[in-house]
Chain A
């Protein structure tokens, strides 16, 4: 069976050990977490966690069932790509050589990226987009003096309510 990337949306009680339980459910069964993000919802007692993972349909279904079995999980659902919008954010610290500065500004403007801070030495850039956009940004910025970066992992939201 072919593998695919899945985003699993997990709504949980906001308790200190709930993330450990979910992470343990992945690791205990040999499944890998590609990215993870979490935020408190409108109800401060409830947290929403988005985990992306790569696996066959069979393993993804198994993970979904296993996570749904946890007491503090209200609902876990595999959100397929077509029924949701998704984004990822990337922050980059650039230390461009003087000769590269022009090219860098040009890249930022043509791609619709944002410069969110700079000083004499460094330049900070924000990129949001789908995974491919992020990967492309990294490829463009790497030769222009990229020193380090952080990415959030995917966040998703369903196109329609349940």
Chain B
């Protein structure tokens, strides 16, 4: 029996258990879409812009722990995914992107809707392919899924020329065995772990620092066992939120530019920093020379490039987080180890004092405070929602005030910082987890960057809830202008609308609005209990800031705490 390229593609996707595709058709992928018409077990979510497709595939991957799949046409279809590919690359998210390409004989001829998408995305994909003949197709697809999800995960792009998809191959001639000879086994780390365990045993002021690698490595249970047995405080990067329960008394929340006072103080005073699945991003370290100045550093990461890149490290350990943490748990169990109370008592008391001295807080006023909205959302959802965010103030307030107890529940554009991510990502997360409440915490600026996906949510009955913290500003830009640019609010005021309630209604969704603090709870409850997609336009204090804030390049201890809270 002969199979066309399109048939081979779907057959291979089936083998990879990839039956959900976020995509948008066009000239170069007509044959794939024609074959899709005959496929029974494929769920295709038709978006309204290719950027929406890639962000939705990304959100799907983060919520489900599976590989997200995106399918778009050549030329503009392909280039429209580039921001989303860079976003997945920045946060190490496994997605496979299929792009159409002009027929092989036209490649290089500046043909209609031709771009060199493998060239364009070379530096923001983990790997990419141009499939030149049908014999390579099945193996390439399987390799792509393998590469996307293995090691440090990331996006992989496959460019599919139209004629390759139209051509056919004997069923018996299809080869799809993966043999990648460039991948090497991880080194034996037992000895490194024993040395690190010795440092841990000697520490008087130990601190755990966890990142997205713990979630990607599915090591959150191992982490909880480890942290609770040691009874040491835990700080998190933005990407690590949810890896360790945010409501646990040991949790100090997020560290870094907008980290909590107590997390930033703890990292600046600890004598052992035990870091797992983090990459010491500049938003975390701030001034490198003043970063964790008293600490010996143990750093576990799956990517050799992340080790010893920015901060000096005493013991770098090349490993996925699960393997390393299970070794440490075993070492602790074998030695029946726990800290003698005298060894860490002062430290734990000091951390508790910092927590008490400057908790996360804000001033109440006549107007709605955005932090209050996030707090109420946390209460009403019982902390169980999947929360996506846009980028800027909304993202930081969500990270600070929603206490994430579960992994794969906080979905945010951490590395790239792409406005317009949260809404399509929420759609993808909801498709992956139909039974959970999915909320996009948005700003009035970033929600407009992919607002067209409201049509996608309505059409496919994807009941995402969008909470717009509407301050009529590009809030984070405005805040920097207030603090560092003499209050010259250059191009950051966006008070011309739209009317988000009418807009939601125009798309066939539900829109709600309030500007009164006493109505916030009611509106959120109503919105969350309404069927289908809902926009909640919450008019918040326009000039509220995110605090603490560490000025870029300053030491983490030099935090601007904002106005003191009125208790």
Contact = CB atoms under 8 A, between A and B. Distances in A.
Given A13-B182, A62-B309, A74-B181, A68 B122 contact: no
B180 interface: yes
Interface string B110-153: 00000000110011001100100000000000000001000000
Given A13-B182, A74-B181, A74-B182, A69 B122 contact: no
Contact of A73 (B123, B126, B130, B182): B182
A48 B43 CA distance: 44
Given A71-B182, A72-B182, A24 B304 contact: no
Contact of A28 (B119, B123, B304): B123
B181 A65 contact: no
B181 A13 contact: yes
B303 interface: yes
Contacts of B184: 75
Q: Which of A20, A61, A65, A68 has the most CB of B within 10 A?
A: A65
B115 to A, nearest CB: 15
A37 to B, nearest CB: 21
Interface residues of B, number: 18
Interface in A17-39: 17, 20-21, 24, 28
B77 to A, nearest CB: 21
B503 to A, nearest CB: 40
Contacts of B122: 17, 20-21, 24
B303 A69 contact: yes
B130 to A, nearest CB: 8
Nearest to B130: A17
A94 B183 CA distance: 49
Contacts of A68: 304
12 contacts: A17-B118, A20-B122, A21-B122, A28-B123, A62-B305, A65-B304, A70-B127, A71-B127, A71-B180, A71-B182, A72-B127, A74-B182
Contacts of B180: 71
A66 interface: yes
A22 to B, nearest CB: 11
Interface residues of A, number: 19
Interface in A35-86: 61-62, 65-66, 68-75
Contacts of B130: 17
Contacts of A65: 304-305
Contacts of A28: 123
Contact of B147 (A17, A66, A71): A71
B156 to A, nearest CB: 9
A71 to B, nearest CB: 4
Interface string A137-152: 0000000000000000
A25 to B, nearest CB: 8
Contacts of A72: 127, 182
Contacts of A12: 182
B305 A66 contact: yes
Contacts of A61: 308
A66 B303 CA distance: 10
Interface string B163-204: 000000000000000001111100000000000000000000
A20 B119 contact: yes
A75 B147 CA distance: 17
Interface in B333-376: none
A72 B143 CA distance: 12
4 closest A-B pairs by beta carbon, nearest first, are A71-B127, A65-B305, A65-B304, A74-B182
A65 B307 CA distance: 10
A38 to B, nearest CB: 17
A29 to B, nearest CB: 10
Nearest to A61: B308
Nearest to A73: B182
A71 B147 CA distance: 8
A96 to B, nearest CB: 45
Contacts of A62: 305, 309
